[in-house]
Amino acid sequence: MNTAALYKHRWTLIRMPLALFAIALASAVWWWWNPMPPTRLTISTGLADGAYPIHASRYAEALARRGIQLDVQLSAGSPQNLERLQARPATADLALVQGGFGWSSAVGPDVPKAPVQTLANVDIEALWLFSQGAPLTTLDQLGGLRVAAGPEGSGHRNLLRRLLAQDRVPLEDIRWSELSGLPARDALLRHEVDAVFMVAAPRAPGVEALLAAPGVHLAILQGTGAIAERNKYLESRLLPQDAMGANLPSADTSMLTTPTHLLAREDLHPALKRVVTAVALEVHGQSGPFHRAGEFPSLRASDFPSAPESRRVMLRGLNLFERHLPFWWAQVAERLLLIGLPVLLVTALLLLLVPAWLRWRLEGHVMRWYGELRFIEDDLSSQNLDVGGMELSHIHNRLRRMEAAVATMQLPEELAQHWFTLRQHIEFVRSRILEYRGR
């Protein structure tokens, strides 16, 4: 197809295909390179009477306001939470995991696991050891006792086993009970167990119940600094007197603590990592018995690699769209800006430039014949040229070939005036040739 036909049908042959190609390109980039994130997530928490389900319910409320549904799964504790997150395929998108399950220890069989990232350390969990009678002061006093430390595989029992092994306490000397939280308190009051160990936040229902139980005492462990030095995921912190209520505890108590990690699958959509981090900042910004307001969430001393999206949110907050729009509409607006706008600008430029280039080519064809006419006129007006019969015949033949070529030239209506003007100029030159012949 020649240039004139392309230019004449530029809407159907150039502009419409360009527009359709732009739409197809933008759609492909939208769906394949930067697809929309899901609006439903799953978080694995812990035992029903722990702090993790409470945190998760607050996340669910905050995410629901942004248009994201969060399904909460209970579990036996941190090891199962981590297994769900690292399974192939993963059975959870988010998980709450206590310290000591990342860099510092291996959990589960040595099989390929999906990588996870820390979105934030959201809270402080303490190692609580309760007993009746005189408070315990060392872990080796647990030898031969009945200890409620949660079900087999729970984070409570996993951590206590590790600490007892460091103190060379034979684990077979411990009579384990799978109770935890409120059932463990009841068993302790009925003298069915001798001690209760748990790793939990201070406001966990089980912890509050045990602190308030008559005749139950919180252990005052000696050498917490040395234990923390051996276990980098632990830290010795002071639980002030009356921090949990009147006479709870009755005196300042040195406690071993570990952070609570809010983890996500590494392949979770970046936008979801950003919004979940923002929710964590909203939920966990207040003070607690072990920390001041604003200390959490943080990424300090995490057991897992931190997500780049979380670092950006903690430094600069969410982007403009995600701050002011519901989650889904924020993602649409972001893609319109990052994908739609560049494609629109490039397409608009091509819609202007391609027809302009075709018009320039057509006008160039006309101008070429004007140049030929100018050469003929220069020959006719040259003072040094002897315009005789042979030379006039040669010029006339050139003019006739030009006229034949111009007659077959196809130009759109917009350029028809150029064609008529060119024909008039050819006639004018022919009239000059006739003048020379009449001399």
pLDDT tens-digit readout, 71-123: 999 998 888 999 999 988 889 999 999 988 876 454 444 555 778 999 999 99
* 246 band by pLDDT with thresholds 50, 70 and 90: confident
Domain count, the chain: 2
Tell me, yes or no, whether 374 and 300 share the same domain: no
Cβ contacts of 407 within 8 Å, gap of 6 or more: none
Give the pLDDT confidence of 335-351 residue by residue, as tens digits. Answer: 888 888 888 899 889 88
Residue with tokens 């034949």: 404
Q: What is the mean pLDDT of residues 6-14?
A: 76
What token pair was written down for 47? 């035992």
Q: Do residues 362 and 306 both lie within one domain?
A: no
* Residues 6+ positions from 384 with CB-CB distance below 8 Å: none
Does position 7 have pLDDT exceeding 80, yes or no?
A: no
Query: Are 286 and 160 found together in one domain?
Result: yes
| Same domain flag for 361 and 310 | no
Q: How many helices (H) and strands (E) does the chain have?
A: 16, 10
The pLDDT of residue 413: 64
- 53 and 7 in a common domain: no
Q: Say whether pLDDT at 135 is over 80.
A: yes
Distances (CA, A) of 72 to 75, 203, 261: 10, 19, 16
Residue at 372 is within a domain: yes
Check whether 180 has a pLDDT greater than 70.
yes
For residues 210-239, give the mean pLDDT: 90
Question: Which of 2, 3, 1 has its CA nearest to residue 361?
Answer: 3
Q: Are residues 356 and 423 in the same domain?
A: yes
Q: What is the pLDDT of residue 420?
A: 66
> Are residue 44 and residue 8 in the same domain, yes or no?
no
Tell whether the model's pLDDT for residue 197 goes beyond 50.
yes
First to last CA, the chain: 48
pLDDT at 93: 96
- Please indicate, yes or no, if residue 288 is contained in any of the structural domains: yes
Q: pLDDT tens digit string along 365-401?
A: 777 777 777 777 766 666 445 555 666 677 777 777 7
Give the pLDDT score at 67.
92
CATH code where residue 270 lies? 3.40.190.10
Same domain, 367 and 272: no
- Using alpha carbons, select from 191, 235, 187, 184 the residue that is nearest to residue 206: 184
Domain's final residue, options 268, 298, 318:
318
In a domain, 24, yes or no: no
Of 139-148, 208-217, 427-436, give the lowest mean pLDDT range.
Answer: 427-436
pLDDT of residue 432: 66
Residue 20 is encoded by which pair of tokens?
């359709």
DSSP letter at 37 equals P
Question: Is residue 283 situated within a structural domain?
Answer: yes
Residue 333 forms part of a structural domain: no
Instruction: Name the token pair of 438.
Output: 């009449």
The per-residue pLDDT of the chain, averaged, comes to: 84
Residues 137 and 228 both lie in one domain: yes
pLDDT at 433: 67
Encoded amino acid at 13, one letter: L
Joined tokens for residue 34: 């930067």
Q: Is residue 323 part of a domain?
A: no
Nearest to 149 by CA among 114, 119, 183: 183
Please tell me the predicted confidence (pLDDT) of residue 383.
47
Residues 363 and 294 in one domain: no
Instruction: Tell whether 74 is covered by a domain.
Output: yes
User: For residues 62 and 24, what is the distance between their CA atoms, to the nearest angstrom?
Assistant: 36
What letter does residue 258 receive in the DSSP assignment? Answer: E
Q: Give pLDDT tens digits for 278-311.
A: 999 999 988 888 888 888 899 887 888 999 999 9
Cβ(78)–Cβ(162) under 8 Å? no
The Cα angle at residue 42 between residues 103 and 81, in degrees rounded to 5: 35
Q: Is residue 343 part of a domain?
A: no
CA 165 to chain centre: 41
Strand 175-177 and strand 146-148: the pairing is: parallel
Q: State the pLDDT confidence band at 417, using cuts at 50, 70 and 90.
A: low
Model confidence at 193, pLDDT cuts 50, 70, 90, reads very high
Q: Which amino acid is at 351?
A: L
Among 296, 318, 340, the domain-final residue is 318
User: What pLDDT shows up at residue 104?
Assistant: 47
DSSP assignment letter at 325:
S
Residue 58 has pLDDT above 90, yes or no: yes
Contact residues for 315 (Cβ-Cβ < 8 A; gap 6+)? none
Domain final position from 318, 336, 369: 318
pLDDT at 105: 52
pLDDT band at 318 (very low <50, low <70, confident <90, very high): very high
Q: Which of 196, 210, 199 is nearest to 158 (CA)?
A: 199
Confidence at 50, pLDDT banded by 50, 70, 90: confident
Residues 311 and 365 in one domain: no
Comparing 247-256, 354-363, 377-386, which segment has the lowest mean pLDDT? 377-386
Residues 6+ apart with CB under 8 A from 215: 132, 189
Which range of residues forms the domain containing residue 354?
A: 3-13+348-437
Question: Cα–Cα distance between 264 and 116 in angstroms, integer?
Answer: 6
SS (H, E, C) 85-152: HHCCCCCCCEEEEECCCCCCCCCCCCCCCCCEEEEEEEEEEEEEEEEECCCCCCHHHHCCCEEECCCC
State yes or no: cis peptide before 249, omega within 30 of 0.
Answer: yes
Which tokens in the block code for residue 415? 């350029």
Bin 286: left if φ > 0, else alpha if -120 < ψ < 50, else beta: beta
Q: Give the H or E element holding residue 354.
A: helix 341-381
Residue 119: its pLDDT value, please?
Answer: 95
Please tell me the distance from the alpha carbon of residue 310 to that of residue 298, in angstroms, as a whole number. Answer: 9
Same domain, 159 and 212: yes
